[in-house]
Structure 1
């Protein structure tokens, strides 16, 4: 029934495609990922550079102050200028209204949580120093250093628009 001269062989599968070079779709995917990675790195670099520039503006203005009293006056001036970015009328606030504005949380929900932890920091001694320190004859440099760190954080937050 079978012809002995007819020799049947098993079906042979073609070889698997080589790993290299990849198909054009993989090249497009790799290019898109590199583009996204480049954009993320550029944005972070830009944000870091902007943060450093803003910190330098604050620090340079305070380094020019000759006395702790002048430093408090410079801090007040910088904060009032930055406050205009949040509310155009904020630089005209006086006394407790100004301190309440300084303590007001700004930004997204996560940042608001952090701001709530820091809420009221200007209400105590640093706030009083900010209001009256520029008019005092003597100001304790340690109090100015504490005010400086609080004011620098708030200045950066307002200037970065958070």
Structure 2
């Protein structure tokens, strides 16, 4: 047998594929990420608009009151309506039971703040403030942010 001289050459690797256009799997990953980002953005915008609408309901009702006593009555009415979302019988509570329920709504929202802001603080004005002839505007101003926070929480805006 005759010897055959074969010239062997090294194997050359093919050039690396270009990074553009990406493989179909990367298009799918990009589409999923963009859809998730669009969904999250839409949800956040919807939540912000809902919170703004609910807050404007509270603010308009209280601002429409002609005097501080009427403001307290409007706040009380709004809180009782919101309380029905939490417990259908909550709007029938009276006195300290009503204030205790409001304290549970406020305590869940405010960390580190006193948990008895309605039972022993500015919220006690809700018991008879709507029926008084004269109500201190500073007391109503102290009550309003507490009541607004509970209203927003119970209406599902937070």
TM-score between both structures, scaled by the size of structure 1: 0.88
Whole-Å separation in 1 of the counterparts to 2:123 and 2:74: 14
Q: CA deviation at 1:16?
A: 0.6
Q: CA deviation at 1:103?
A: 0.9
Whole-Å separation in 1 of the counterparts to 2:130 and 2:109: 31
Aligned length: 157
Deviation track 1:64-100 (CA, whole Å, cap 9, x = no partner) reads 1000010000000000000000000000110001001
Q: 1:112 to 1:140 in 2, by over 3 A?
A: closer
Q: What's 2:36 paired with?
A: 36
Q: What's 2:141 paired with?
A: 145
Please identify, of 78-87 and 9-18, the stretch whose mean Cα deviation from structure 2 is larger. Answer: 9-18
* Aligned CA-pair RMSD: 2.2
Q: What's 2:131 paired with?
A: 135
Whole-Å separation in 2 of the counterparts to 1:82 and 1:148: 15
Gaps of at least 5 residues in structure 1 are none
Runs of 4+ in 1 over 3 A off after TM superposition: 111-118
Gaps of at least 5 residues in structure 2 are none
TM-score between both structures, scaled by the size of structure 2: 0.90
Q: What's 1:159 paired with?
A: 155
Whole-Å separation in 1 of the counterparts to 2:123 and 2:7: 99
Q: Conserved in 2, the CA contact under 8 Å of 1:68 and 1:139?
A: yes
